[in-house]
Amino acid sequence: MGPYLGLAFLLIAIAVAIASQKAPPIVEEFPDAGPDAGGTRQLFGVLWRTKRYRFGLVAQFFNVAAQVCTWSFTIQYARDVVGVPADSAGWYLQASLILFLVSRFVMTYLLGIVRPALLLAVMGAIGVGLALTGMFSQNMLGLIAVVSISASLSLMFPTIYGVALQGLGEDTKFGAAGLVMAILGGALLPLVQGRLMDQVGTATAFIVPAVCLALVTAYALFDLRTRREGGPLVAESAH
């Protein structure tokens, strides 16, 4: 009960802090175009014909899938492959999540000096290599590689989000909603990896996040070969 009560009081304190502050007026960069702008079906058609957005939707689906697959089965990898005791295996997942947090700050800095798609391609390729290392080095090195995948994952969601929405203009809000819905990948692909674990083993099943990260890398390479629209990337809060 203690942790939940503490969390409840923390949320109450946050709510009070927010309520006591005067919020600034919200000015939308691309306000709703109104009823004359066309129906949802027409808007969806426009977005689907935009390759950068269409492929970005797929990349986001597999990015979230790679995240959930990696984090869902890190403990199983530690226990089944390396033989880490049950009461210690959870620490490797904690290390993975902490690495993700720290890497997010590092990647935010690097995104200011390196083209986002280039950094996405490099980290995606590193993620593929780490997943393959986890598959074939079925020892402590493999476990460290599985934990380290989080470093590659740290920049992917916001970067894909911004790249995919580039140049959409007044269609940005609707497109952003689609990218958020791509988290469905995190619900579907772990089922595939779990079934593979039952059939071929925990380590070999990490081919699933490897393939997911390879597809994200392919999207980054596609964007690198495509002329970028002018202006900064769209932030995650655009929706």
Query: At how many degrees (to 10) do helices 116-136 and 156-164 cross?
Result: 140
| pTM assigned to the model | 0.80
Domain extents in the chain: 52-238
pLDDT above 90 covers what percent of the chain?
Answer: 67
- Which residue from 81, 237, 58, 69 is spatially nearest to 150, judged by alpha carbons? 69
Q: Rg of the chain's alpha carbons, rounded to an integer? A: 20
Q: What residues contact residue 222 under an 8 Å CB cut-off, 6+ apart?
A: 51, 52, 55
Confidence (pLDDT) at 34: 47
Fold classified for 52-238: Growth Hormone; Chain: A; (1.20.1250)
User: Which tens digits make up the pLDDT trace of 162-213?
Assistant: 898 887 777 777 788 888 889 999 999 999 999 999 999 999 999 999 999 9
Q: Which pLDDT belongs to residue 166?
A: 83
φ/ψ of 154, rounded to 5, equals: -60, -35
Residue range 33-43, pLDDT digits in tens: 444 445 555 55
When pLDDT is averaged across residues 215-239 and rounded to a whole number, the result is: 71
Q: How many CB atoms lie within 10 A of CB 186?
A: 19
State the Cα–Cα distance between residues 217 and 39, nearest whole angstrom.
34
User: 61 φ, ψ to 5°?
Assistant: -55, -50
How many other C-beta atoms are found inside a 10 Å radius of the C-beta of residue 215?
A: 18
pLDDT digits over 125-171, tens only? Answer: 999 999 999 999 999 999 999 999 999 999 999 999 989 888 777 77
Residues 74-94 pLDDT 10s: 999 999 999 999 889 999 999
pLDDT of residue 51: 84
